[in-house]
Chain A
Amino acid sequence: MNFPENLKYTKEHEWIRVEGNKAWIGVTDFAQSELGDIVFVEIQPHSGLLNQGAIFGTVEAVKTVSDLYMPVAGTIVEVNAALDGSPESVNQDPYGAGWMICVEMSDTAQLNDLMDAAVYSAMVGA
């Protein structure tokens, strides 16, 4: 299983890629594999700040549904609209075309709470 070194990970299986104050967020290779065929990604409309750990959306697979959690506090500035038409991107390319939201972080210190690739990989036993 693939867990890129340049990302940080949550125990709820989100990844986050940081560029300055902005961060891109999605779910990990492990998460997509556990969920199976993903059929909807639903991002709840939010205008304000979401706390670390807040639910920002849900991902529906054929057999199951799972909530999506903010790895760090922030404001959603962009949603990956392409997932509406091709939710399977999350299965096929979880760290690329399968990204879900871009946020403006309010407290980058929270990144220290997250796991690096080695720790996350050990956690999921992959």
Chain B
Amino acid sequence: MSEASLLKNTALTALHQELGAKMVPFAGYNMPVLYDNLIQEHLAVRQSVGVFDVSHMGEFIIRGPQAGALINALTTNDVGQLLPGKVQYSCMTNDQGGIVDDLLVYKFTENEYMLVVNASNIEKDWNWISRHNQHGCDLYNVSDEWSLLAVQGPKAAETVQKLTAVDLSAIPYYHFAFGSCAGISGVVISNTGYTGAGGFELYVKNEDARKLWDALFDAGSEFGIKPAGLGARDTLRLEKGFCLYGNDINDTTSPIEAGLGWITKFNKEFTHSAYHKQLKEQGPAKKLVGFEVVDKGIARQHYIIKDAHGNDIGEVTSGTMSPSLNKAIGMGYVGTAFSAPGSEIYVDVRGKLLLAKVVKFPFL
């Protein structure tokens, strides 16, 4: 059996292929990495509007009177702060001091939540949550039934608004509503995204994905709406300093080290919270920082970071050429002594040490 035949398709894979997308295996899915030109897709999202098929993302529904308590016990953010209609960015920690996954928590009702998790972690997360479900909640993995289109950019709201009677201006950032969109009922219309460009993420059943896609491209044609691939999704998130699971955070990194203290709440207990609390109080030995490469070159994942004397002080976790800034930017863990903005660090780029400067997030 060929590798390709083991890959899962989204409801729109055939469409991406028709559009001439370059398809790559990603987290077990056959996904469009780019359609034509990464920089143009990136800039379309920054300047106008682009659409990503991110149906590979996983969705779990958690139901029951104890649903909130279960999620609160497994995630770092405070579910007590969530109201129906609100979304929360959070982390699920393991019992070894690391992160099982980062995720979005949607509160549908007092007794019903949706978790949106990374495609690469669907099975791991599902097993983890099922194993810790001592609250008798009903768990549903609906990942294979739901599609997700991310409509992102300054013209995204105007585009989506043409397709729905729901007043999008009444849905603030990290809020959502259920509504009809493009004639499809029960769409989760969520003011969220992974680009920092603004816009909405739309959750629909697989059978409605093509209808929604076509309606979005009709509605957005006056804005030059473009399909955007995973390549642009990565450069867009990196410009905003958003963590990517598997790159910048993983099973061994603490949210405290990763700069995710803002979603790590110690007014409650969660898996291994005592360890993270102590790390926060003592100060972590390493921290995730953003940097700009001053010399000519691009830092890539796993390149070693050194100090001026050539001592290893850390490792690059993500790096690219920023299409918006036209600068090489990256993220990586460094010893805390080198984590202050302005610190000079060196990246070993194939044997050559390139000067880089630690900067504050976001880059843009």
Q: Dominant SS at the B interface?
A: mixed
Contact of B300 among A36, A39, A65 (CB under 8 A): A65
- Cβ of B297 and Cβ of A62 under 8 Å apart? no
Contact A40 B297 (CB under 8 A): yes
Does A58 sit within 8 A of B, measured CB to CB? yes
- Check B37 against A39 for contact (C-beta < 8 Å): no
**B38 — which chain A residues lie within 8 A by C-beta?**
36-37, 62-63
B132 to chain A, nearest CB (A): 37
Q: Are B321 and A39 in contact (CB under 8 A)?
A: yes
| Chain B, 327-351, CB within 8 A of any chain A CB | 350
Bound CA span A82–B344, Å = 30
How far does the alpha carbon of A126 sit from the alpha carbon of B321 in the complex, in Å?
Answer: 29
- Is B104's CB within 8 Å of the partner chain A? no
Query: Which of B37, B39, B298, B300 has the most C-beta atoms of chain A within 10 angstroms of its own C-beta?
Result: B298
B235 close to chain A: CB less than 8 A? yes
A24 to chain B, nearest CB (A): 24
Asked if A60 and B39 make an inter-chain contact with CB atoms under 8 angstroms apart, the answer reads no
Per the 8 Å Cβ criterion, residues 57-94 of A in contact with B are 58, 60, 62-63, 65
Bound form: Cα–Cα A42–B297 in Å: 9
Min Cβ gap B177→A in Å is 35
Query: Do A60 and B321 touch (CB < 8 A)?
Result: yes
| Residue positions of B touching A, CB distance < 8 A | 33-34, 37-39, 231, 234-235, 296-298, 300, 320-321, 323, 350
Top 3 A-B pairs, shortest CB-CB distance: A39-B321, A37-B39, A62-B321
Given contacts A36-B38, A63-B235, A65-B298, 18 further A-B contacts (CB under 8 A): A36-B37, A36-B231, A37-B37, A37-B38, A37-B323, A39-B298, A39-B321, A40-B297, A40-B298, A42-B297, A60-B297, A60-B298, A62-B38, A62-B231, A62-B320, A63-B38, A63-B231, A65-B300
> Can you give 26 A-B contacts (C-beta < 8 A)?
A36-B34, A36-B38, A37-B37, A37-B39, A37-B323, A39-B298, A39-B321, A40-B296, A40-B297, A40-B298, A42-B297, A58-B350, A60-B297, A60-B321, A62-B38, A62-B39, A62-B231, A62-B235, A62-B320, A62-B321, A62-B323, A63-B231, A63-B234, A63-B235, A65-B298, A65-B300
